[in-house]
Structure 1
Amino acid sequence: MRRPSRPSTAAPASTAAPAFAPSARSQVPPFTVMSILGRVAELRAAGHDVVSLCAGEPGGGAPPAVDAAAAAVHASGCALTYTPALGLPELRAAVAGHYRRWYGLDVRPEQVAITTGSSGAFMLGFLAAFSPGDRVLLPRPGYPAYRNILTALGVEVVDVDVDAGTRYQPTVAHLEAALAEGPVAGLVLASPANPTGTMVSAAELAELARWCEERGVRLVSDEIYHGIVHTDGEGLGACAWRTSRTALVVSSFSKYWGMPGWRLGWMLMPDDLAAAVDGLAGSVALCPPAAAQEAAVHAFSEESYAFCAEQAGGFTATRGVVLAALPRLGWADAAPADGAFYLWARLAPGMLAEFGSAVGYCAALLEEAGVALTPGDDFDAVHGPESVRLSFAAGPDALHEALERIAAWHAARGLA
């Protein structure tokens, strides 16, 4: 007797492979500086002599006391284990003491979160402070990672178009205009700023901080370039916590302390965000690098403060060289560069006519003259294609060589 056939359980043959694609939130552009650094590495590996002025990497390195402490950590043979999620207690206490020393502020160690670079602080801070759909104000031009992280988190970025008229910094009038168009959840402010190097005064920062606190707007104050200040009267830079303890303050060991590759930063956490940041930190990164934390305690020694102050003085001297060279370079509308180690300027019309944009100009300069600058597109989608950022963090020798090459290349190209 013939048995009845069983129905097939096999899935029907697919005529097309399943479609896989990156998430919508991940569609942010790569940071141009990192792409340029990759090309610099390729050219150097091929034997070309390249002077790189595209990245904000101080050329002097970490304070000797920090280097010595790191060597001792690795020579000790002790296992490097996880630290608490918000950092070693002794390092959090040292950062709190730094705020008493520089700003006269009483900061409790438990209000300090040690992070994996300032980038880690921005990620944790933005996650803790903002929800998807919130509107957050960003001055433009500005550091592109702010926009990219916020966009990836589903936050609506609202450009605040700043220019030379307000020294490339936002004013209360800018904020009022943005608020009139819709609710505002946050403002990201950098002083000194990247890419312009401009600063708000202590009085201006206090006014902006009060405006934010009174309207329930979370101020995120990027203070990573504090200590690298070139203008008289501004001291080391003003801290937002002098006015508002609802602000989230971000800083880093990368700039003043010359430790970019150590990947250590910190933030001052408003009390209402501390639990959220603590919970997130243990999941996002478990903890910052343990050896770097142990060594970084020595960044706050008298020896290290003296070393870093000398390095910062060198940046001020190098800034003077850059500003004096502007007539030879033929760039226009340079930002005043109050602090940090950047020059932001607009290319001359002839340069734009020759190369089409700052991207074309910088690419040709790198390939033909061996000098790496950063085109402005990342920092300002509107005016950036006409602008360049020069970093003088690499030191005077690299800067002098680069300026000579740029001037000679301009002359050879008929751009002088």
Structure 2
Amino acid sequence: MLKTGRGAEAPPFLVMDVIAAANARAAALPPGAPGVLRMEVGQPSTGAPRIAVVAAQRALSAGAPMGYTEAFGLRSLRERIARHYEDKYEVTVAPGRVAVTVGASGAFPLAFLAAFDPGDRVAMAAPFYPPYANILTALGMVPQLLPCDASTRFQPSIAMLEALDPRPEGLIVASPCNPAGTMLSAEELGAIARWCHENGVRLISDEIYHGLSYGMAETTAAALSDSAVVINSFSKYFSMTGWRIGWMVLPEDLIRPVECLAQNMFISAPHVAQVAAEAAFEGVEELEGNKAAYARNRDRLLAGLPAAGFDRLAAADGAFYLWADIGHLTNDSVAFAARMLAEAGIAATPGVDFDPARGGRFLRFSYCGAEDAMAEAPGRLRAWLGR
């Protein structure tokens, strides 16, 4: 029998299975039947900002070869990202510390391989974004889960970190986080960043939902720690999921290691996506309009879901998710989500994707879809559950 590698044992990212099931159900619906309401995936229903599309069209029409760029991306894009940190956070980031990546998904393995060795422990709050743990496991590292709940706002604390024995080599934080949408305050993130730096723990700060917060200020770890790795993306706020373009802000000691890894693993992010991404920074009016639509969706669901029986929701400080405790309805979120899709035509993601131990009693609703669909969802759920 032929050998398979460690990567062949990686668990699935269940939301992708839900997407496939929702696609199949939608395709099988007869003409005139109510459509499937898509609340399973964190993909904005809006496309890239118009100014980004025009920039890509112009570059392609000009006949430019759109070949490889430097591994860390176009110099002009890296400079524009550095200026974004000055404009938004009032922090100076040298363009040389910026690495353009194939989405945030391409950034994580680069960061993990450069910062950690096989066998190293990397802590994270549970619930968590599944690829954190799956990528670490595939690379031979050990996810170290910090069980969090509503009492901790689904975020880690210094007390949790102090209790770890042995201490981890790394910590991943996300603010706003997926799936709960909660955020760390500037003081909380600052304290965690100091603790990590003082204890030799590499902080990885996932900031891909920055730009999408609703009343709470966003803080970047780039302003708090010289040793942290910051990961961001054009997929969420900028509505450019399929363009596969993201970035990292790297500490000085990881710049060359990450560059060498990127050269060998990815060569470079797609050239045309980089052109579009640079232009996207100028599409603020359109992007803020998208955010306002998400905020309206959020408000509709926060008002309507409790009456439908989903009344145990995490504080939705940011991102575009509601993390619902459905323990009073089921302890099998996979079966519950399948029934909800089949019987109510609503696709949502089972909590076990984000917390294998406790996720059977949770469901994640995404509200970045079309406004009419989000407005319809509470009524469908009430009818389905007989409320």
TM bucket normalised to smaller: over 0.9
CA shift at 1:346, angstroms?
1.1
Once superposed, what is the RMSD of the aligned Cα atoms? Answer: 1.2
Measure the CA separation in 1 of the matches of 2:250 and 2:370. 34
The match for 1:228 among 192, 199, 212 is 212
CA shift at 1:333, angstroms?
2.7
Instruction: For residues 149-197 of structure 1, give each alpha carbon's deviation from its aligned partner in whole angstroms, at most 9, with x where no partner exists.
Output: 000111111110111111111110000001xx11310000000000000
Specify the alignment match of 1:5 in structure 2. none
Specify the alignment match of 2:299 in structure 1. 320
CA shift at 1:381, angstroms?
1.1
Specify the alignment match of 1:405 in structure 2. 380
Contact residue 117 and residue 264 of structure 1 kept, 8 A = yes
Q: TM-score when scaled to structure 2?
A: 0.96
The match for 1:308 among 264, 278, 287 is 287
Instruction: For residues 350-395 of structure 1, give each alpha carbon's deviation from its aligned partner in whole angstroms, at most 9, with x where no partner exists.
Output: x31xxx5111111011112211000000100121011000000113
Specify the alignment match of 1:8 in structure 2. none
> 2:200 aligned with 1:219, yes or no?
no
Specify the alignment match of 1:11 in structure 2. none
Aligned residues: 383
> 2:39 aligned with 1:53, yes or no?
yes
Whose radius of gyration is greater, 1 or 2?
1
Contact residue 254 and residue 264 of structure 1 kept, 8 A = yes
Q: TM-score when scaled to structure 1?
A: 0.90
> 2:179 aligned with 1:200, yes or no?
no
Measure the CA separation in 2 of the matches of 1:375 and 1:404. 20
SS at match of 1:57: coil
> 2:329 aligned with 1:343, yes or no?
no
Deviates more, 1:165-174 or 1:73-82: 73-82
Measure the CA separation in 2 of the matches of 1:264 and 1:289. 8
Percentage of matched positions with identical amino acids: 44
Q: Residue 344 of structure 2 aligns to which amino acid in structure 1?
A: A
Q: Residue 29 of structure 1 aligns to which amino acid in structure 2?
A: P
The match for 2:219 among 205, 224, 238 is 238
Q: Unpaired segments of 5 or more residues in structure 1?
A: 1-18
CA shift at 1:348, angstroms?
4.6
SS at match of 1:114: strand
SS at match of 2:293: helix
Instruction: For residues 223-254 of structure 1, give each alpha carbon's deviation from its aligned partner in whole angstroms, at most 9, with x where no partner exists.
Output: 010110013xx33x100111101000000000
Q: Unpaired segments of 5 or more residues in structure 2?
A: none
Instruction: For residues 98-123 of structure 1, give each alpha carbon's deviation from its aligned partner in whole angstroms, at most 9, with x where no partner exists.
Output: 00000001111110000000011111
Contact residue 115 and residue 265 of structure 1 kept, 8 A = yes
Deviates more, 1:324-333 or 1:78-87: 324-333
Q: Residue 77 of structure 1 aligns to which amino acid in structure 2?
A: G
Specify the alignment match of 1:255 in structure 2. 236
Contact residue 181 and residue 320 of structure 2 kept, 8 A = yes
Contact residue 169 and residue 202 of structure 2 kept, 8 A = yes
The match for 2:125 among 139, 147, 150 is 139
Contact residue 230 and residue 249 of structure 2 kept, 8 A = yes
> 2:94 aligned with 1:108, yes or no?
yes
Contact residue 144 and residue 168 of structure 2 kept, 8 A = no
Specify the alignment match of 1:26 in structure 2. 8
The match for 2:147 among 161, 164, 176 is 161
Contact residue 87 and residue 293 of structure 1 kept, 8 A = yes
Specify the alignment match of 2:349 in structure 1. 374
CA shift at 1:24, angstroms?
2.9
CA shift at 1:74, angstroms?
2.4
Measure the CA separation in 2 of the matches of 1:143 and 1:396. 25
